[in-house]
Amino acid sequence: MPISTFRLTTLAAFLSLVSLAAAAAPPIPLRPEMLIDLSGRGQLAELVDEQDQLADPQQPPTSKPNRGWQGAQLYYPLPVVIDLQTPHQVATIRWYDVEGSGLLTVDAWTGDGWQEVCRDELKKYQAWSTHAIDVKTRYLRLTFANPGAAIAEVALEGKSLAAAAPVSKRLSPPQPPTMDKFIGVNAFIDDPVERLAAFGMVREYHNAQWDDGAASETAAPFPQHAFAYSPSAVRGPGWGWDFDRFYEDLKEAGVEIFPCLQGADKYAAAKEGPFKSQDKPIAPDADPTDPASYAAHGAHLFQTTARYGSTQVDPSLLTLEKGQEPKSGLRLIDSIENWNEPDKWWEGRGAYFNPLELAAMCSADYDGHQGKLGPGVGAKTADPNIRFVMAGLATTELSYLQAMELWARLYRGGEFPADVINLHHYSNDAGGQAGRPTTGISPEEDKLKERFEKIVAFRNQHFPQCELWVSEFGYDVHPKSVQRAPAIGATSAEETQARWLVRSYLELAAAGVDRAQMYMLRDVNLEDPTKFASSGVTSSKATGHQPRRSWYYVATLKNVLTGLRFETEIVHKDNDDLRHYRFSGEKDQQVDVIWLATAKDQKLADFTLTGIDGEIEVLELVGDSTAGKSIAKGEAKTMRLEVGESPILVRKL
């Protein structure tokens, strides 16, 4: 995607303190953490990272920038909010206009909505613009109309009207599930249950049209539209998917499943002619930041949750096709997700949700925007016990979540419309999906644990009531894929994929993530070098879902760590490449997992176990067993082991 960059000719765009004459209002101190990017793509740290180079703020800055704010036309208009932390009387706002031109508007939050306080076409050249606004507010929003709307510096004058509120006591984050529930996979309804049983949780890609038949030109509009699940709305003579049966079979196999409702409902979009299922599920003239625009989509969440959740629902609220048995409260799902990768910039603006738009849809889908959209809208409206999983973001951009948090503060009284923060991340040499990778890399080289430790800390501060899931990660095995797990020395690509998947689960658990689902159960096509075409732990549907080494490795990890949680990392100071994680459970259960965090096909001979007493059994991962292969048993203190890049599991007996 082509990227345009603000190359400011004086100082990288940033906020700073500006002194005034003695009679003027005093400056309002501004800090980087007071900035919230509502586009989901800004790099606000770079707006304030050169303040020490500012000389006299009444004069043009003397230094030139070496960092700028990246943005693309896709994300414009580009809004930034200044959160002053407390109500202020803001007398003046000023900025240093550099070059180019474009509209910059400033709005103040009044408590009921945004009110414009000034606008500027930015036609000055390397000169200050000063605007008297005299407004009482906590929040100011600056909206840049296009990349030409470039400024170098913003300053505020005024005074605080209240002392900073004391930091409220945060809730404790929820306890992660045991590893047998932590280890999950992405899959479809036509994947075999016996293969899915290697995992504790299934994220089911569930196209909206499978329930609503929205591809039909005769489908009734919302709210008269009807749904079908058993059989599905998409069906033909003698066939149709039976979601009731599929969910029942998985529950009987001990596998937790949650549907990820992906794609727009055509009836909800109310569009005629060409229809893009990846676009937002709203009418062409609807406001994408208004929860009411997503009422039809929220109705779909209501119907699916009513049927498969834990609460009996008034039958009069069930809108089903003729022939569908009116069931509710089947207790087959505990969670539901409302979209897949809403920040998919590669699909264009119609498909890309900025944070405010996603927050609005989540509010409708969560509880009908706190009940304002009627009795048949929202998952929580149908079942207060359902765990609502926020649509999984394609990147780990924390500013996106901050903007959603602000929206919830302004429009929901601070109640965040999700129970789970949900992110995707692929370990590669470009840092994830937003870059241009050439190959996959090991989770340790990607610093996967460190990356998500930061995100867990962010969750604990901003969303302590929420779980944190990573609902997509993984590796291809095709040698030309840009997301490949490569062959390393004598190690095949399939072996590398198996090792790196297991190590990714372990690193995410150690980071404090609550659940993780790898992408995905089956290959699309092993012969296709396209990214994600060969990511399966089994072969393709066409070739019978034959299990790969990675299927056995992950199944073994799940089975051996059943009932256990991550406890601690044991650091070996004499070897930085050594990873040693301990998992523990009730009744003195303990398993240590040990491996070399390298990608060189190397081994460490004669490793001595420390911190383990008593009898142990050592298991290695093999490609034909879901229980591992026992390679040693005996007294821990006398044991000498060979440790390589494939984790070994040391079980206390």
Q: How far apart are CA 220 and CA 225, in angstroms?
A: 5
The closest alpha carbon to 12, from 53, 55, 58, 56, belongs to 53
The type of residue at 338 is N
Q: Which residues of the chain have pLDDT under 50?
A: 1-23, 51, 54-57, 60-70
Question: In this predicted model, what pLDDT tens digit does every residue of 127-169 receive, in sequence order?
Answer: 889 999 999 999 999 999 988 888 877 889 999 998 876 665 5
pLDDT value of position 8: 34
- Residue carrying structure tokens 């500027």: 120
> Strand, coil or helix: what is 636?
helix
Contact between 641 and 648 under an 8 Å Cβ cutoff? The reply is: yes
The closest alpha carbon to 98, from 17, 12, 8, 14, belongs to 8
521 and 583 co-located in one domain: no
What radius of gyration, in Å, describes the C-alpha atoms of the chain? 27
pLDDT value of position 269: 66
433 within a domain of the structure (yes/no): yes
449 and 576 co-located in one domain: no
pLDDT value of position 163: 84
Among the candidates 560, 585, 620, a domain finishes at: 560
- Residue carrying structure tokens 């009513």: 306
Among the candidates 560, 583, 605, a domain finishes at: 560
The closest alpha carbon to 128, from 5, 10, 6, 7, belongs to 10
Partner residues linked to 517 by β-bridges = 184
Retrieve residue 455's tokens.
């995100």
Task: Please give the residue range of the domain that contains residue 628.
Answer: 565-652
304 and 337 co-located in one domain: yes
Among the candidates 525, 560, 595, a domain finishes at: 560
580 and 539 co-located in one domain: no
167 within a domain of the structure (yes/no): no
pLDDT value of position 36: 93
pLDDT value of position 628: 98
DSSP character at residue 293: G
132 and 271 co-located in one domain: no
Look up the pTM and report it.
0.92
pLDDT value of position 142: 94
Contact between 54 and 96 under an 8 Å Cβ cutoff? The reply is: no
Q: How far apart are CA 89 and CA 47, in angstroms?
A: 24
Q: How far apart are CA 618 and CA 634, in angstroms?
A: 9
Beta-carbon contacts of 596 under 8 Å, excluding residues fewer than 6 positions away, are: 577, 578, 579, 602, 603, 604, 643, 644, 645
Report the CATH number at residue 626.
Answer: 2.60.40
401 within a domain of the structure (yes/no): yes
> Strand, coil or helix: what is 595?
strand
Please give the tally of structural domains in the chain.
3
pLDDT value of position 53: 53
DSSP character at residue 166: P
pLDDT value of position 49: 53
